[in-house]
Amino acid sequence: MTEILFAAILTDNLALSFFLGICTFLAVSQRLSTALGLGIAVIVVQGVTVPVNALIHAVLLAPGALHWIGLPEIDLSFLRIIVFIGVIAAMVQLMELLLDRFVPALHRALGVFLPLITVNCAILGGSLFMVERRYDPLEAVVWGIGSGIGWALAIIAFAAIRERLRYADMPEGLRGLGGAFIVTGLMSLGFSGFGGLAQ
Amino acid sequence: MMRLSHHLTDPLIRSNPVTLQILGICSALAVTTALATALTMAAALIFVLCASAAIISAIRRHIPQAIRLILQITIIATLVIVTDEVLRAYAFEISQRLSIFVGLIVTNCIVLGRAESFAMHHPVRASVLDALGNALGYGLVLVIVATIRELLGTGRLAGIPVLPLADQGGWFEPLRLMQLAPSAFFIIGLLVWAIRAARPEQIERPDHRLLLRQDGTWP
């Protein structure tokens, strides 16, 4: 269990080793405070949607999952992409309502990022990896929260570096996007160093 | 026809979706360790993008404004599932190597972006050309990155040995870094730099500049 958590946060980091959610990663990392808000939102959404999707996959979609209503030969796993997207959109809406009702301060802080998370590929990727690696429901909870923390860690560190980078004297063509890619590459190199700890 | 063709040629380099608009990078980089996977991914995206643009543009007058996003996502997800199943049926080995990344075309911002910003307001022919141009622009970046990574990382190109490897009596020592994630970021960064060196109008202007004191020291 701890290996999954460890891998999710450091060695299998969704942003830095699987390139997931990189569009958002580059677009919303100009300021540390917004990156922090988005990071927390991703942890919460990932921690909720991956276990829910794991449950739906185990009960409805996996090959033979429908034997409890007497249809053991039906395999609905081809539907998982569209079902997962629907679940993610619904969970994000639901969380928006719940946060607005019970934790309005956090809801205000997350602002526009919460709805945007629906189309963040890190969220869908987390659920698809959960199916591909055959995690059981408990492992899915750990993987969901861990991968959310890993993504948040990456964007927060990147935003902090990027705030400093504004004062760097870089070649003109590298300013902005080009430099951001190179820095992300260096961070990815650093995170791959954690691979030695996993064994 | 002249007016239509710029929809096709513009997104190739000048307003390339990956290097200028930062769209669709999520899936673009993970499949670039080998040329074969990059070409398959590009073909899958060309199909999904063109088909979704054609369908959405054809029914654009019948889509209610309030539910247009969910309708677009449903159409795109259906096309992605079809692509995924076809790949699984006829190219199982390569679909295993692409792992989850064909499925992630659903959340590729290029697809939804073109549907929402172009196909919803233009006739079918222009929409398909625009989609094809953007998909080819994405495919071009994919193929460039994959060529560099596979050639320098393994000495092969599309699986065929090109550079003679050192451990088989040749001179080429494979760069293992090229097969790891960081190299993809470096290559895209350098590619952006190269495009901006050729087209200086794309250089990002800083919001503010630091001025040195008269004696040349930092304030």
Instruction: Report d(CA B162, CA A53) in Å as an integer.
Output: 45
pLDDT for the residue A176: 78
Q: Is the pLDDT of residue B206 over 70?
A: no
pLDDT tens per residue across span B147-170? 988 888 887 787 777 777 777 777
Q: Taking chain B, what is the end-to-end CA distance rounded to the nearest angstrom? A: 57
The residue of chain A with its CA nearest to that of B77 is A82
Lowest mean pLDDT among A147-151, B55-59, B198-202: B198-202
- State residue B5's pLDDT score: 75
The phi, psi pair for B108, rounded to 5°, reads -70, 120
Contacts of B107 in chain A (CB under 8 A): 85, 119-121, 124
CA distances from A79 to A23, A57, A84, A128 (A): 26, 10, 9, 12
Q: What is the pTM of this model?
A: 0.82
> Which one of A45, A78, A81 makes the best mutation probe of the B interface by having the most chain B beta carbons within 10 Å?
A81
Q: Which residues of A touch B19 (CB under 8 A)?
A: 177
Q: Which range among B1-5, B12-16, B64-68 shows the weakest confidence by mean pLDDT?
A: B1-5
Segment A67-77 mean pLDDT: 76
A106: which 2 tokens? 């956090």
Report, as an integer, the average pLDDT of A4-29.
81
pLDDT given for residue A16 in this prediction: 83
Helix axes A137-165, A177-192, angle to 10 degrees: 130
| Higher per-residue pLDDT: B212 or A30 | A30
What residues in A contact B185, CB-CB < 8 Å? Answer: 181-182, 184-185, 188
Residue of B nearest to A89 (CA): B70
State how far the alpha carbon of A72 is from the alpha carbons of A4, A58, A61, A67, A79, in Å: 31, 13, 11, 4, 17
Model confidence band, residue A8 (pLDDT cutoffs 50, 70, 90): confident
CA distance B82 to B88: 10
> Is the pLDDT at B183 greater than 70, yes or no?
yes
Over pLDDT 90: what percentage of chain A? 8
Q: Which helix (H) or strand (E) holds A8?
A: none
pLDDT above 60 (res A141): yes
| Complex ipTM > 0.90 | no
Q: How far is the alpha carbon of B78 from chain A, nearest alpha carbon, in Å? A: 7
Say which amino acid occupies B145.
V
